[in-house]
Amino acid sequence: MVNRTGQKAFTLIELLVVISIIALLLAILMPSLSAVKKRSESIICRSNLKSIGLAAALYSQDYNAYVPRGASGNGNLWFVQFLPYVGDEHNNGDYRNVDIYRCKSFPRSGVGIGNISNSKQTVCFVVNDWKFNNNNSTSGASIGKPTRLINVKRPASVIYMSDNENGPWRPIIQDEHSAEISRCDVFYPAHLPMSDAQEYLQGRRVARQRHRSGCNFLYFDGHSDWSDAKDITIDMWRTN
């Protein structure tokens, strides 16, 4: 086809063929790009947890080797206590200004307890608050107070924090005064990722599929890593 100026131009059919090829290429590339994005978000999440682990180490140096655990609203909330160690001059004393406290893969749609949107979730991690009845017990209760690091027998293999599960049974924490702040800890078998429980008090609290078929974890020695949900056992939460 030649236009009035004598220059060659695309026919409608040629243009449609080009558009079809581009659409086909995009259809092929989009799953790969989506996978790359998810992997990138998982890496950022692990990096954030590692930074939180560094804040915990700095905190422990100032507080006789203790680190906060329970999220019971008794002044030991880890995300508030760590503010001086994550750039306090920039966060203005508000933990909601700290980017490393959030996981980019946390779903931003749907609702939690009270029909509050997930988009308002400010606590994307839950903390190990499990005090077992004895060394062989699989049950226990919330410890609700700081723990001295030297009392954690296997710090490299005991979980300190993990990705927070989302769901209609899970609370949305908007600030440190939210009524359901105490539901951001782990101290019961049904809280673990392979639990099917979806209940306010004893429902799953550790994300089952935040990153692929598992989620990210921070350990008491300060390192972070990903684990498949089915590989997470009760013993990985046992500090004594």
Over the stretch 200-236, which tens digit does the pLDDT of each residue have?
999 999 999 999 999 999 999 999 999 999 999 999 9
What are 12-57's pLDDT values in tens digits? 787 888 888 888 877 776 666 566 677 889 999 999 999 999 999 9
Q: From the CB of residue 44, how many other CB atoms can be counted at a distance below 10 Å?
A: 17
Average pLDDT over residues 128-149: 90
Distance CA 218, CA 23 (A): 42
pLDDT at 179: 85
Query: Which token pair is 34?
Result: 């989506």
Task: Report whether pLDDT(7) > 70.
Answer: no
Residue 10's pLDDT band (cuts 50, 70, 90): low
DSSP state of 172: P
Tell me whether residue 220 is exposed, middle or buried, using C-beta atoms within 10 angstroms of its C-beta: 0 to 12, 13 to 18, 19 or more: buried
Whether 90 shows a pLDDT value over 80: the answer reads no
Cα atoms in the Cβ-side hemisphere of radius 13 Å centred on 25:
6
Q: Residue 16 has what pLDDT?
A: 82
> Distances from the Cα of 175 to the Cαs of 106, 172, 215, in angstroms?
17, 9, 24
Tens digit of pLDDT for each residue in 192-201? 999 999 999 9
pLDDT of residue 129: 95
Kindly state the DSSP code that residue 83 receives in the 8-state scheme.
G
Question: For residue 11, what pLDDT is reported?
Answer: 80
